[in-house]
Structure formats: structure tokens, C-alpha cells
């Protein structure tokens, strides 16, 4: 691998205008995600009058959640930027964390589906779509060298974080992208399984990502908060606890319904 | 003319009222105890019946929007843009050039925007959808703009702020 292979912050130029890889792949990932949601909505025969407001609320919730979660992940020194509402609309500031985006999207989509009176849960359509979108978006993180890409390694697939660096790092965003691509296939296979309906596919999808992300965090450069764990890892544990609690309660309710 | 298969409307596997003991799983899908119907992921279909989503769905007739829909929608859309532009100008003009805005000025946009969104979602959802559309368009433009700019990310190697 060449010495500067990992870094490609400028993807290409059009008439002298630079197009940066970070947001190019972020936008591409979001477009791919919504295209997949549209296909899935068509397959499940959901009308646009339900899918559009839920998708919009999910997108807005994701942008807000991504930014606000930074306060927890990166500490109070980020408050002047994070708590400035109008910095949300500053294109030179990155959106924030994908974990916060997932939580924000879930909350936004859930509220919207309740407001419009959607029967059942629309969220399963988003499960494979989110995995596919994240797989695409992570390529931009890798090419832009975000967060220094990863921790130093001597493994043969390590990459140079910056041109001329005399050490190699884990290509952590590519681990994330690789898993998400695989996870997309798994969720696709499960989408019609009777055990994964009515919101369970999304919960399963998010839980699977949280498990893998927990381990990927060990090779990323995020700040450690407590017990050697980063804020993202603590968030993943919390997310898994919530999903676990949901399944325990659902099982108990099903058992009671069977007895009655 | 073929006879329409009898419809079974019992609770599906995604329902809390579903009793697995009264159904069986063949490794691929759930069946009713008498093997007459199977679960396609959304509803019970008669044996041999093809799920509708397997075939291209015919275009559903577009439901007419209720009267006043677009008026409410554009009211929400334009309202968000107008209020936020005014609020932004007020905050910038009242903040000392070298200092940060005070706590009230920092919190006001959050409270007003999220408060109004929740309020309209309850009392007039069509206005809330217009507001959401305004935020969505703004965020879309921000992300597109970021394609042409060097974006600074939080934490890690990039260090912001």
C-alpha cells in the first residue's frame, strides 16, 4: 500500500471546485438509505403520506441527535458549538456522531408515526437501509482521515494515517463499513421472518451494530470517559440494555397473553 | 371466474395475541394449525396465494389532500425560515463582538423551534410537517454545501472546538 493511500480528503475537482470526500459519501449514504426506504415502502405498500413525514422527522432527529450527543461523547468543552442552534446549519462543522444520529432518528420517527396515527411500526423498513447508508458514509470518514482513522497497529492491513507517516493505524471506518455491508445482507434475509416484524428488525439491527461498534471503539481515537471506555461504548451498553429490556418485557407480555 | 380464497384474520406473529402453540413454523414461515393459511410478513394468505408485494404493486389511487393542507404546510415552512432568520439577526446584533451570547440567547432558538414543533404536532400536524420540511431542506443544503468545503469534525484528530 502506498504511503498516502488512506488519505484522500479531496475526492475530485469539477472546473477547479474541490469536492470533499467526507460529505460526498455522507450525502451519498443518506441518498442510498432513502432510496432503499422508498423501495421497501413500496414493497410493503406504505403510502407516501406516512413514509414522507416519518422519514423527514427521522432525518431531522438524526441531525439534531448527532450534534447533541457530542456533548456527552466529547465533553463540555464542545458546548459552545453544540449548544449553538445556528451552528447546526454551518456546513463547515461536521454533523456529529452516528450513534446520536441513530437515537435521534428513532425518537423523531417514533414521534412522527404516533402523530400521524400510523398503525403498527414503520421502522423495520429503515433497518437494512440504515446499515447500507452507514456502509457508504463510512468510506468518506476513511478517505478524509477522520479522527486519525484508528489506533496504531502492526497488522498487515494497517494504513498510513497521513502522507509520510512512519507508522500504520487500524482502518477503523472500513471495519465499520464492512460490518454494515454484511449486516445489510443479514437484515435483508430477516426482513420477512415472522419473528422480526413490528419494530423488532430495527431493534435487532441497532443492537447488532451496537455490539460491533463497542469493539471497534477499542481501535478508534475517541476520548476515554470512565473505566477505560469511551462515551460511544457507554452509549452502546445503554442501547443494548434498552433493547434487552424491550425483549424481556415483550416475552413476558406474550407469555401472559398465552396463559390468558 | 376463480373463487376468492377465504380470508383468515387471526392475530399474526407480530401481535402479542398470537399463540405459537396454535400455529406451526416450517422453518421458513408460520402456518395456521390446519395448514390453510401462511403468514407473508404482513397478513395471513391462503395456501397457494401469492403475496401482493411479490408482484409489482399497482399504483394506489392518490388520496386528495384535505382542504387547507398546503396553506398549513407552507405556513409552517415559511414560518420557521422567517422566525429563525429574525431570531438569528437579533442574537447576532445583541451579542458583543468578542463574547459568546448569554444563556437566554443560546437557549431561545432551541426552546422556540422544538417547542413550536411539538405544539404544532399536537394541535396542527400539517404545520409541523411544513416545519420539518424546512429543517430537512436546510440540513440537506448544509450537507451538500459541506461537499465543497473542508468540514471540521468533532474530537479525535480533528479537535473541534
Distance CA A231, CA A72 (A): 7
Q: Where are the alpha helices (DSSP H) in chain A?
A: 21-43, 48-74, 79-82, 98-115, 126-144, 172-190, 200-216, 231-259
Distance CA A184, CA A132 (A): 6
Distance CA B63, CA B79 (A): 26
pLDDT at B53: 54
Q: How far apart are the two ends of chain B, measured CA to CA in Å?
A: 72
Option in B20, B40, B153 nearest A94 (CB): B153
Distance CA A81, CA A93 (A): 9
Q: How far is A217 from chain B (nearest CA, A)?
A: 12
Contact assignment for A20 to B149 by CB distance below 8 Å? yes
C-alpha cell at A229: 471506555
One digit per residue, the tens of pLDDT, for chain A of length 260 reads 445 456 788 888 888 889 998 889 999 999 999 999 999 888 887 888 888 889 999 999 999 999 999 999 988 888 888 888 998 998 888 888 999 999 999 999 888 888 887 766 677 888 999 999 999 999 998 998 887 788 899 999 999 888 778 889 999 999 999 999 999 999 999 988 888 888 889 999 999 999 999 999 999 988 888 899 999 999 999 999 999 998 888 888 877 777 66
What rounded mean pLDDT belongs to chain A? 88
Secondary structure class of B24 (helix, strand, coil): strand
Option in B42, B151, B158 nearest A44 (CB): B42
pLDDT at B60: 56
pLDDT at B93: 85
Between helices B125-146 and A21-43, what is the axis angle to 10°?
Answer: 140
Contact assignment for B149 to A197 by CB distance below 8 Å? no
Other CB atoms within 10 Å distance of the CB of residue A255: 10
Q: How far is A83 from chain B (nearest CA, A)?
A: 7
pLDDT at A256: 79
What pLDDT, in 10s, does the model give residues A13-66? 888 889 998 889 999 999 999 999 999 888 887 888 888 889 999 999 999 999
Q: What is the mean pLDDT of each run of 10 residues along chain B (161 residues)?
A: 66 78 76 84 79 55 74 93 92 76 81 92 91 94 89 57 40
Indicate whether this complex's ipTM tops 0.90: no
CB-based burial, B82-105: b 16+ in 10 Å, e otherwise: eebeebeeebeeeeeeeeebeeeb
pLDDT at A199: 83
pLDDT at B31: 84
pLDDT at B156: 46
A254 in B contact zone (CB under 8 Å): yes
Q: How far is A191 from chain B (nearest CA, A)?
A: 8
Residue B31 and residue B41 in contact, taking contact as beta carbons nearer than 8 Å: no
Minimum CA–CA partner of B146 in chain A: A91
Whether omega before B161 lies within 30 degrees of 0, making that bond cis, reads: yes
Residue A87 and residue A19 in contact, taking contact as beta carbons nearer than 8 Å: no
- The values of phi and psi at residue A93, to 5°, are -105, 130
pLDDT at B69: 83
Amino acid at each position: 500500500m502506498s504511503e498516502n493511500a488512506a488519505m484522500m480528503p479531496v475526492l475530485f475537482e469539477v472546473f477547479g471546485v474541490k469536492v470533499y470526500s467526507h460529505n460526498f459519501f455522507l450525502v451519498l449514504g443518506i441518498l442510498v438509505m432513502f432510496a432503499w426506504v422508498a423501495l421497501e415502502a413500496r414493497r410493503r405498500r406504505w403510502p407516501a403520506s406516512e413514509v414522507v413525514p416519518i422519514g423527514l422527522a427521522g432525518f431531522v432527529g438524526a441531525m439534531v441527535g448527532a450534534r447533541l450527543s457530542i456533548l456527552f461523547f466529547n465533553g463540555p468543552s464542545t458546548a459552545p458549538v453544540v449548544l449553538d442552534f445556528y451552528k447546526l446549519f454551518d456546513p463547515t462543522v461536521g454533523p456529529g456522531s452516528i450513534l446520536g444520529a441513530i437515537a435521534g432518528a428513532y425518537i423523531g420517527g417514533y414521534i412522527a408515526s404516533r402523530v400521524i396515527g400510523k398503525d403498527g411500526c414503520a421502522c423495520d423498513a429503515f433497518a437494512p437501509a440504515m446499515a447500507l447508508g452507514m456502509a457508504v458514509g463510512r468510506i468518506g470518514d476513511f478517505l478524509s482521515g477522520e479522527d486519525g482513522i484508528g489506533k496504531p497497529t502492526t497488522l498487515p492491513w494497517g494504513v498510513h494515517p497521513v502522507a509520510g507517516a512512519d507508522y500504520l493505524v487500524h482502518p477503523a471506518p472500513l471495519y465499520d463499513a464492512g460490518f454494515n455491508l454484511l449486516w445489510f445482507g443479514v437484515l435483508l434475509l430477516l426482513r420477512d421472518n415472522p419473528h422480526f416484524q413490528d419494530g423488532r428488525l430495527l431493534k435487532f439491527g441497532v443492537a447488532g451494530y451496537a455490539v460491533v461498534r463497542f469493539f471497534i471503539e477499542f481501535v478508534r481515537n475517541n476520548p476515554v470517559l470512565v473505566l477505560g471506555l469511551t462515551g460511544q461504548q457507554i452509549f452502546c451498553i445503554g442501547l443494548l440494555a434498552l433493547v434487552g429490556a424491550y425483549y424481556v418485557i415483550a416475552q413476558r407480555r406474550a407469555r401472559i397473553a398465552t396463559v390468558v | 371466474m376463480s373463487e376468492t380464497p377465504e380470508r383468515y384474520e387471526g392475530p399474526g406473529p407480530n401481535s402479542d395475541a398470537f399463540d405459537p402453540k396454535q400455529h406451526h413454523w416450517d422453518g421458513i414461515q408460520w402456518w395456521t394449525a390446519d395448514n390453510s393459511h401462511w403468514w407473508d410478513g404482513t397478513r395471513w394468505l391462503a395456501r397457494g396465494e401469492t403475496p401482493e408485494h411479490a408482484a409489482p404493486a399497482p399504483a394506489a389511487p392518490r388520496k386528495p389532500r384535505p382542504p387547507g393542507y398546503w396553506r398549513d404546510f407552507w405556513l409552517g415552512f415559511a414560518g420557521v425560515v422567517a422566525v429563525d432568520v429574525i431570531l438569528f439577526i437579533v442574537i447576532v446584533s445583541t451579542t458583543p463582538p468578542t463574547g459568546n451570547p448569554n444563556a437566554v440567547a443560546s437557549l431561545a432558538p432551541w426552546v422556540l423551534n422544538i417547542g413550536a414543533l411539538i405544539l404544532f404536532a399536537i394541535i396542527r400536524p400539517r404545520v409541523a410537517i411544513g416545519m420539518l420540511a424546512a429543517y430537512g431542506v436546510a440540513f440537506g443544503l448544509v450537507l451538500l454545501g459541506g461537499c465543497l468545503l473542508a468540514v471540521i469534525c468533532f474530537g479525535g484528530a480533528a479537535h473541534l472546538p
